[in-house]
Amino acid sequence: MNVKGTIIKKMSKETLQGKFTSANPDASITCYEGDIVLASTKNVYKLFTKIADKIDISKIKNPTLKSTSQQIAELKDVGKVNEIKDGETINIKWKSDTIRLMIWDETM
């Protein structure tokens, strides 16, 4: 994918916004093109938890929208994203007998 974008800072949050085209060994072929917005996972979680607090799933009639809203509502339980530094140990407490962790490395 080829991206031409700009880092934009709004309300102290940075996003990369721009245009993209798919990469193809044959430069004369463009498979997909469009707009792209990239944001940090931490900022996305913060936004989704705010949205989840305002959704009343019981009032949604459209099945697709209801399913999406239920997935967003699950983020109410996320709490916060923990950034763990190299060599750091953290303790995590939870109430159920299962836990789902999303772990990623943002370094390049």
pTM of the predicted structure, to 2 decimals: 0.40
> What is the per-residue DSSP string for 54-104?
H--GGG---HHHHHHHHHHHGGGGT--PPP--TT-------SSS-------
Query: pLDDT tens, 40-69?
Result: 777 777 777 777 777 777 788 888 877 777
Residues of the chain with pLDDT > 90, as a percent, come to: 0
How confident is the model at residue 13, as a pLDDT?
A: 80
- Domain layout of the chain by residue ranges: 1-39, 40-81
